[in-house]
A and B are shown apart, each in its own frame.
Chain A
Amino acid sequence: MSDLTNLTLAEARDGLKARKFCATELTEAHLAAIEAARPLNAFLKEMPDRALAMAKASDERLARGERRPLEGLPLGIKDLYCTEGIETTAASRILDGFVPPYESTVTSQLWRDGAVMLGKLNLDEFAMGSSNETSAFGPVVSPWRRKGSDAKLVPGGSSGGSAAAVAARLCLGATATDTGGSIRQPAAFTGTVGIKPTYGRCSRWGIVAFASSLDQAGPIARNVRDAAIMLRSMAGHDPKDSTSVDRAVPDYEAAVGHSIKGKKIGIPKEYRLDGMSSEIEALWQSGIAWLHDAGAEIVDISLPHTKHALPAYYIVAPAEASSNLARYDGVRYGLRVPGKDVLEMYEKTRAEGFGREVRRRIMIGTYVLSAGYYDAYYVRAQKVRTLIKRDFEEAFDQGVDAILTPATPSPAFAIGEKGSADPVEMYLNDIFTVTVNMAGLPGIAVPGGLDKDGLPLGLQLIGRPFDEEMLFALAQVVEDAAPKAAWPERWWRAQDKPHPLFGFMKGTVQVAPGADLTDPADPDWGANLER
Chain B
Amino acid sequence: MSVDTATVRRIAHLSRISVQDEEVAHLQSELNAILAFVEQLRGVDVENIEPMTSVTPMQLKKRADEVTDGFIADEIIANAPRREDHFFVVPKVVE
Contacts and interface: CB of A to CB of B under 8 A. Distances in A.
Nearest to B7: A367
B80 to A, nearest CB: 6
Given A97-B79, A339-B91, A423-B30, A384 B44 contact: yes
Contacts of A346: 16
Contacts of A422: 33
B17 A363 contact: yes
Contacts of B34: 314, 360, 364, 423-424
Contact of A347 (B8, B17, B38, B49): B17
Contacts of A389: 52, 55
Interface string A367-403: 1001001001101111111110100000000000000
A465 B14 contact: no
A331 B51 contact: no
A416 to B, nearest CB: 17
Interface in A188-230: 198-200, 213-214
A492 interface: no
A99 interface: yes
Given A381-B41, A384-B46, A350 B81 contact: no
Contacts of B51: 379, 382-383, 385-386
A333 interface: yes
A128 B13 CA distance: 22
A345 B91 contact: yes
Interface string B56-95: 1010110100000000100100111110000010111100
A98 B90 contact: no
Given A331-B88, A335-B81, A363-B11, A342 B93 contact: yes
A364 B8 CA distance: 10
Interface stretch (A59-67, A304-312, A505-513): A304-312
A424 B55 CA distance: 25
B25 interface: no
Interface string A416-441: 00000011100100000000001110
A360 B56 contact: no
A341 B91 contact: yes
A504 to B, nearest CB: 48
A interface, how many residues as a size bin? 35 or more
A144 interface: no
A440 B54 CA distance: 9
Interface stretch (A237-245, A281-289, A519-527): A237-245
A181 B85 CA distance: 44
Contacts of B21: none
Nearest to A364: B34
Nearest to A332: B80
Contact of A383 (B46, B60, B72, B92): B46
Given A99-B78, A329-B16, A311 B37 contact: yes
Interface in B16-40: 16-19, 27, 30-31, 33-35, 37-40
B38 A311 contact: yes
A308 B80 CA distance: 42
A423 B35 CA distance: 11
Q: Which of B17, B31, B53, B61 has the most CB of A within 10 A?
A: B17
A200 B17 CA distance: 33
Nearest to B49: A383
A480 B57 CA distance: 35
A377 B38 contact: yes
A198 B52 CA distance: 17
A341 B88 contact: no
Contacts of A99: 78-79
A200 to B, nearest CB: 5
A514 interface: no
Nearest to B60: A242
6 contacts: A243-B58, A332-B88, A333-B81, A360-B30, A360-B31, A387-B46
**Top 5 A-B residue pairs of the complex, sorted by shortest distance between their CB atoms:** A440-B55, A382-B51, A333-B79, A336-B81, A347-B18
Interface of B: 1, 3, 7-8, 11-19, 27, 30-31, 33-35, 37-42, 44, 46, 49-56, 58, 60-61, 63, 72, 75, 78-82, 88, 90-93
Interface of A: 97-99, 101, 198-200, 213-214, 239, 242-243, 245-246, 305, 307-308, 311-312, 314-315, 322, 326, 329-336, 338-348, 350-351, 354, 359-360, 362-364, 366-367, 370, 373, 376-377, 379-387, 389, 422-424, 427, 438-440, 465
